Amino acid sequence: MKACTRVGLLLLAATLHIRAEAGTGVETCAACHGDQGQGNAVLGAPRLAGQQVDYLLQQLRAFKAGQRGYDPQDSQGVQMRAVVASLDEADFNRLAHHYAQQQAAKVSASKSAGTAHGESLYQGSCAACHGLQAEGFAHLKTPSLRILDASYLDRQLTHYTDGTRGSDAHADPLGIWMRGIALQIRSAEDRRAIIDYLASLSLPAAEQARR
Ligand code: HEC
Ligand code: HEC
């Protein structure tokens, strides 16, 4: 990301931080995550609509506790950490439920073609925790991966492997756990194949799986 864009985003986060103190409505979040929680790939803000409620709650707590967004190199995580600084548990509950229940907006990301290799890697190493349809599980606090765009997925896996997310020194047990798994993905090609497979899963089927 260009330096000027980054500064602009930090200023935006700071402004929103002040607004947040006057009571946070979803409009604060909509500035980056979209008015339907659909996400904004240009800003690096992931889709929240239809995400697992327990996972959303867990992440908001993790940002607040500095267990995510702790590394200055992680500009997106740092921004998100600033946003939640003045929010409390009641806000987190309200916001997490709001987004988890939000109907899926149209997916803007183009669908990619998954390969049999990507599918077998995903089903063999990820599905046990993220679900056969990558829908996530409440009891494991795992996210739905099928709603996320490829660039966000790629960045999170990079952050886990380089310790920007999930490091022993900062993260909670769930982040540390996922880091260990990300480190086991053997090659960049395997990672790409898994991401392509996730992007190939169609959203309407995911919506049905949750009903
Ligand atoms: C200034 C832009 C900005 C604002 C405002 C913002 N976010 Fe974010 N949010 C981001 C970015 C960028 C990320 C990705 C962080 C990363 O890469 O680790 C993110 C990540 C998240 C995540 C993690 C999702 C996941 O799949 O792990 C949650 C949850 C979240 N935001 C909730 C909210 C809520 C709720 C609000 C409103 C109170 C909000 N955000 C406001 C930019 C923003
Ligand atoms: C043992 C259980 C487990 C397995 C297996 C597992 N994950 Fe995860 N995954 C988790 C948990 C728990 C989290 C939430 C971690 C956190 O709080 O940072 C997570 C988070 C993620 C995230 C972050 C999503 C977001 O919204 O920010 C990605 C991406 C991810 N996993 C991809 C994968 C991939 C790809 C595989 C297979 C190679 C995989 N996971 C296998 C448990 C698992």
The per-residue pLDDT for 84 is 96
Tens-digit pLDDT profile for residues 165-192: 999 999 999 999 999 999 999 999 999 9
For residue 137 and ligand 2, the question of a CB distance below 6 A is answered with no
Through-space distance between the first and last CA atoms of the chain, rounded to whole angstroms: 38
Q: Answer whether residue 111 shows pLDDT above 80.
A: no
210 vs 119, higher pLDDT: 119
204 vs 91, higher pLDDT: 91
Measured in Å, residue 143 CA sits from the centre of ligand 2 at 7
113 vs 136, higher pLDDT: 136
Tens-digit pLDDT profile for residues 114-170: 899 999 999 999 999 999 999 999 999 999 999 999 999 999 999 999 999 999 999
The per-residue pLDDT for 104 is 62
Give the residue whose CA is nearest to atom 1 of ligand 2: 129
**Number of Cβ atoms within 10 Å of the Cβ of 201:** 20
The mean pLDDT of 44-70, rounded to a whole number, is 97
Atom of ligand 2 nearest to the CA of 172: 17
The per-residue pLDDT for 5 is 56
Q: Answer whether residue 210 shows pLDDT above 80.
A: no
Q: Answer whether residue 97 shows pLDDT above 70.
A: yes
Q: Answer whether residue 107 shows pLDDT above 80.
A: no
The per-residue pLDDT for 170 is 97
Measured in Å, residue 46 CA sits from the centre of ligand 1 at 7
Q: Report how far residue 167's alpha carbon sits from residue 130's, in angstroms, rounded to the nearest whole number.
A: 21
Say which ligand is closest to the CA of 50.
1
Reported as half-sphere exposure (CB side, CA atoms, 13 A), residue 32 has a value of 22
**Number of Cβ atoms within 10 Å of the Cβ of 166:** 26
The residue to which tokens 């022993």 are assigned: 168
The per-residue pLDDT for 201 is 86
Q: Report how far residue 111's alpha carbon sits from residue 11's, in angstroms, rounded to the nearest whole number.
A: 33
The per-residue pLDDT for 18 is 43
The mean pLDDT of 63-89, rounded to a whole number, is 96
Reported as half-sphere exposure (CB side, CA atoms, 13 A), residue 43 has a value of 22
123, 182 contact by CB (below 8 A): no
Measured in Å, residue 39 CA sits from the centre of ligand 1 at 9
Which of these, 100, 110, 127, lies nearest to 202 by C-alpha position? Answer: 110
Which of these, 145, 153, 202, 134, lies nearest to 41 by C-alpha position? Answer: 153
Tens-digit pLDDT profile for residues 4-55: 555 555 555 555 544 444 445 899 999 999 999 999 999 999 999 999 999 9
For residue 194 and ligand 2, the question of a CB distance below 6 A is answered with yes
